[in-house]
């Protein structure tokens, strides 16, 4: 839970570096939060659902299309700046500028490239964006486990 909420504590901190664990645990937190808010929207009647049935020469497709409601929107707006900040710090960990996030606007290639950047480990030791977060985070993990 510590790693999931750490970007919320560093809300608009775009400087420094973040470990892959911090980034991916926050992504998991956002995913679970969106699912929980969608269920809450559905229970409270804030969201809109549309049932559909499509017939084509290739077969029949049916399902439900859900639009998010007020709670999901508020959660997404509240998480926008921390998610941007943790992504920039994650790029800093691999010694790249935060401006690389704009490369994600390039269809397919940009998204795949950024995904790889977020997976690959950072540079060992200090770089131009600060000290290695792995070393300081290991100390924090030991302190927290006591």
Q: What is the pLDDT of residue 114?
A: 94
What pLDDT sits at residue 139?
46
Residues contacting residue 34 through CB under 8 Å, at least 6 positions apart: 68, 72, 75, 76
Domain boundaries, the chain: 2-141
C-alpha span between 26 and 45 (Å, rounded): 28
Q: What is the mean pLDDT of each run of 10 residues along the chain (146 residues)?
A: 82 88 93 92 81 78 78 93 94 91 94 94 85 66 47
pLDDT of amino acid 143? 47
User: pLDDT value at position 141?
Assistant: 52
Rounded Cα–Cα distance for residues 43 and 40 (Å)? 5
Global confidence as pTM: 0.78
Per-residue confidence (pLDDT) for residue 137, from 0 to 100: 53
Can you give the pLDDT at residue 108? 94
In angstroms, the CA 112 to CA 118 distance is 10
């Amino acid at each position: 839970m510590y790693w999931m909420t750490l970007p919320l504590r560093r809300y608009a901190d775009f400087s420094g570096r973040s470990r892959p664990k911090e980034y991916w645990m926050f992504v998991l937190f956002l995913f679970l939060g969106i699912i929980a808010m969608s269920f809450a929207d559905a229970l409270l009647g804030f969201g809109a659902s549309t049932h559909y049935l499509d017939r084509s020469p290739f077969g029949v497709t049916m399902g439900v299309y859900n639009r998010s409601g007020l709670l999901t929107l508020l959660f997404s707006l509240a998480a926008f700046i921390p998610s941007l900040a943790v992504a920039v710090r994650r790029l800093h960990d691999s010694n790249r500028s935060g401006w690389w996030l704009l490369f994600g606007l390039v269809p397919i290639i940009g998204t795949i490239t950024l995904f790889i950047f977020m997976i690959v480990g950072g540079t060992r030791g200090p770089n131009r964006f600060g000290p290695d977060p792995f070393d300081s985070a290991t100390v924090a993990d030991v302190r927290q486990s006591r």
